[in-house]
Homo-oligomer: A and B are copies of this chain.
Amino acid sequence: MAAERLVVIGGDAAGMSAASQARRRRDATDLEIVAFERGHFTSYAACGIPYWVGGLVEDEQQLVSRDPETFRNKFQVDVRLRHEVTGIDLDRREVVARDLENGGTEVREHFDQLVYAAGAVPITPDWARTDADGVFGVQTLDDGAALLAWLDSDPRPERAVVVGGGYIGVEMAEAMIQRGLSVSLVERSPEPMSTVDPDMGALVRKALCGLGLDVRSGVSVTGLETRDGRVSAVVTEDGTLPADVVVLGLGVRPNTALAAEAGLPIGPTGGIRVDLRMRVVDVPGVWAAGDCVESVHRVSGQPVYVPLGTHANKQGRVAGINIGGGYATFAGVVGTAVTRVCELEVGRTGLREAEATAAGFEFVSVTVESTNRAGYYPGARPMTVKLIAERRSGRLLGAQIVGWSEAAKRIDVLAVAIWNRMTVDEMSGLDLGYAPPYAPVWDPVLVAARKAVDAIR
């Protein structure tokens, strides 16, 4: 019997990163590892679902970065698929789970260390709770498979309504277009992609409309219509949209029901509170990582909830290194995100205007129009860069980019600048790569920084 026992709740990025990092540092005689996963897969890329549905990725197996057999054989992790954890008993240090494949048999497993990585649950408004067929979420590979089966069913769906204009919403809208459906995108906020400021969101809306997407922003959904047990329309404040298929992309919230029940501390964002090492605050031997925790925003200093695979992987890794006896910390987030929709590229980092105001900053905003390449170089496309900088200090607080090619990932330059608390004045001197295929001689980031310097004065 091993010296210690680690139980992991959730077999996706965060949980399995923790398991494999712990294993790298402690062998099976020292640390036994059991992982419970409700679904059929481990370590899969949920963010790849839109591309699978859209046909760019052929096989769901491509989205699985490490399968259960690899974890079992290579990492000696006792992976229990289709096991739903139903309780955590901190006093007895036990996890209680149901075997979904085996008539719900109850399993109890002792732990010395526990990693809570239960991820997120989709936000599902009351109107979306229906028994009718044809309404889909986009969280698990099973969701993707069900949607794909529906799209191939008879009668073949022709009209899709995607509800929610954030990343997953616009990506799913693109997937439906790629499948040949006519698509409406309904978003409650004034503009889609509300993680960017409304002025940048307006650029996104115009671009998406130009791509043949029927964008209805500033519109709330109030209900669904069904016919013969199938969805037939989405009812909005602004009229009824016929629909053979409805995709819900309304975002997610931390999956903390079990955690709260067990008494783990929940923060103001709804995520579990953890320290730098991903230890659950004030609960010895219990760790949490991924889409169920809150993180510190390095600009506002406030807790934020940012469910992204990139953070889940890092946080799980940090927890696992620490469980393994190493030392690692999660340094927080600056709110970087990128997406592509039918070639339109959107990137953001730091705080958007509303967030900066909420955090207490006074700031100036500047927006510049430039191009991704030298203007004379073939394939030069327009690119809009917006910077938000603190008044007086000039510290960069946030940045957003909308463009058409090789645009979004440039946000990383600004993310690193924000990470290092750079001012726009210093940024305007940055030594960025220049060659005609990559940028005008004044990189758009530099042009924006110069403009911000002038605005602050």
Chain B residues near A313 (CB, 8 Å)?
441-442
Chain B residues near A309 (CB, 8 Å)?
434, 441
Chain A residues in contact with chain B, CB under 8 A? 13, 45, 47-48, 51, 56-57, 62-63, 65, 167, 298, 308-311, 313-314, 329-340, 347, 349, 374-378, 406, 408-413, 415-417, 419-420, 422, 426, 429-439, 441-443, 445
A415 & B434 in contact (Cβ 8 Å cutoff):
no
With both beta carbons as reference points, the residue of chain B lying nearest to A52 in the complex is identified as: B376
B409 & A433 in contact (Cβ 8 Å cutoff):
yes
Query: Complex Cα distance A410/B406, Å?
Result: 10
Chain B residues near A436 (CB, 8 Å)?
45, 47-48, 51
Chain B residues near A434 (CB, 8 Å)?
47, 308-310, 336-338
User: So how many copies of this chain end up in the complex?
Assistant: 2
With both beta carbons as reference points, the residue of chain B lying nearest to A308 in the complex is identified as: B434
* Minimum distance in angstroms from A69 CB to a CB of chain B: 19
* Minimum distance in angstroms from A179 CB to a CB of chain B: 16
B430 & A378 in contact (Cβ 8 Å cutoff):
no
* A333 interface neighbour in B340, B377, B431, Cβ under 8 Å: B431
Given contacts A378-B56, A442-B313, contact A430 B419 (CB under 8 A): yes
Extra A-B contacts (12), CB below 8 Å, given A309-B434, A310-B443, A336-B431 = A45-B436, A56-B378, A62-B375, A167-B435, A310-B442, A313-B442, A331-B426, A337-B435, A338-B434, A347-B433, A415-B431, A420-B420
Chain B residues near A406 (CB, 8 Å)?
406, 409
A47 & B431 in contact (Cβ 8 Å cutoff):
no
Given contacts A48-B374, A377-B51, contact A433 B420 (CB under 8 A): no
14 contacts across the A-B interface (CB closer than 8 A):
A45-B376, A48-B374, A298-B431, A310-B441, A331-B429, A336-B433, A338-B434, A338-B435, A409-B439, A412-B445, A413-B413, A413-B416, A416-B416, A416-B420
Query: Complex Cα distance A441/B316, Å?
Result: 13
* Minimum distance in angstroms from A44 CB to a CB of chain B: 11
